[in-house]
Amino acid sequence: MSDQDLSSKILTTLDATTSTNVKKLRKQILLQLQTDSDDKAAKKKFKKTIQALESDGKLTLGADGEVTLTKESQKSKKKKAKKEKKDKKEKKKRKKSEEDEDSEEEQVKVEKKQKMEDKEDAYEDGVPAQYEEEEEKADDIVGDEEKNAPCPGNPEGYTRLFLGNLPFAVDEASLRTFLAPAKMTHVKWITDKETGKFYGSGFIEMATSKCGAIAVKERNSEKIMGRPIRINFAPSRDGDIWPPTSKEVTGNGGQAGGSGVKAMSVKPDNCVKLFVGNLSFEIDDDTIIKFFANADAEVKAVRWLHHRDSGDFKGCGYVEFWKTEACEKGATLNGKNLMERPIRIDWTD
């Protein structure tokens, strides 16, 4: 270590308000440098550095062996500590600002993905049956004008919110409890169209604009299941069907990352092929063939889907059957567990 670095370490180690015994200080410094405290060369270098700092007026060494920072050094150290504290605050502030920007970018990205998927698949979202009667009564009482009335914290009267950084174990019940006393009426989990994998984000509809204001003000950045959730206002776009006409949550029986059966699309005439998703990455041809054999559905061919750039398996594929009757039998396994994962099945041409 250079003399300058050793000087800096000594000044940093010394307390700005109290004195320290020079032998104790030497032992502490050598310990920090992982040097033997009996090393003669290290002791000699330490002594010379102390003398040099005393000559420079940065510390004083008393006859009793007590080392004390000079007033000038004390001021310099306090000033440095104050600057470090200020820099830390600025860094924290910048980090929060970046997180807010990321949240906005994520919202735009999800909105764009939603628009594309809505054209291909009619997702209808809502709430479980135990809440339907209560919310239908609320809908009768609260009209559109009152529901979307401007209020403090929500001058535009928005009731649609975007949620990000959600835990994969979240479900509708836990989300309702988290948002209380604000009342949620609909939820839409954002998932991958092919694999069914939950993205950790979604959209919710609040009972009133006041409920929306409460959720954004009091629950944004609060933790649910150990994760700080992000909540922003997300007004629906022109042409969007929002809130959904159905109050049944999209897929998964109300749980975002859990298991559940998603409704299949309309079956094409004489269909002999199925799309299969949410598959284990350890799946192989023999395993999927045996799986469908349980339903007496004889498989003709299997084709797995891979990412174009990386070649990695996407967790989904296509299974072709010899006859349409076999295909229909295979479709009955939609939502059944395969390698500890609920398989997603749909008709395809």
Residues in a beta bridge with 162: 203, 232
Q: pLDDT-based confidence at 341, cuts 50/70/90?
A: confident
Give me the residue label for tokens 């007033």: 71
pTM value > 0.75: no
For the stretch 60-77, pLDDT in tens is 888 888 888 887 767 777
Decide if pLDDT at 140 tops 50: no
Decide if pLDDT at 133 tops 70: no
pLDDT in the model for residue 1 = 66
Decide if pLDDT at 83 tops 60: yes
Give me the residue label for tokens 């929500």: 154
pLDDT in the model for residue 13 = 80
pLDDT in the model for residue 262 = 60
pLDDT in the model for residue 138 = 45
Q: pLDDT-based confidence at 299, cuts 50/70/90?
A: very high
d(CA 318, CA 330): 12
Share above pLDDT 90 across residues of the chain, in percent, rounded to a whole number: 30
Q: pLDDT-based confidence at 145, cuts 50/70/90?
A: low
- Which range has highest mean pLDDT (15-29, 34-48, 142-156, 281-295)? 281-295
Residues in a beta bridge with 191: 198
d(CA 44, CA 41): 5
pLDDT in the model for residue 253 = 47
Q: Lowest-pLDDT range, 119-123, 161-165, 282-286, 291-295?
A: 119-123
pLDDT in the model for residue 256 = 58
Residues in a beta bridge with 16: none
- 86 versus 106: which is more confidently predicted? 86
Q: What is the DSSP string of 266-309?
A: PPPTT--EEEEES--TT--HHHHHHHHHTTT--EEEEEEEE-TT
d(CA 150, CA 346): 43
Q: pLDDT-based confidence at 92, cuts 50/70/90?
A: confident
What is the rounded average pLDDT of the residues 172-197? 85
Q: pLDDT-based confidence at 330, cuts 50/70/90?
A: very high
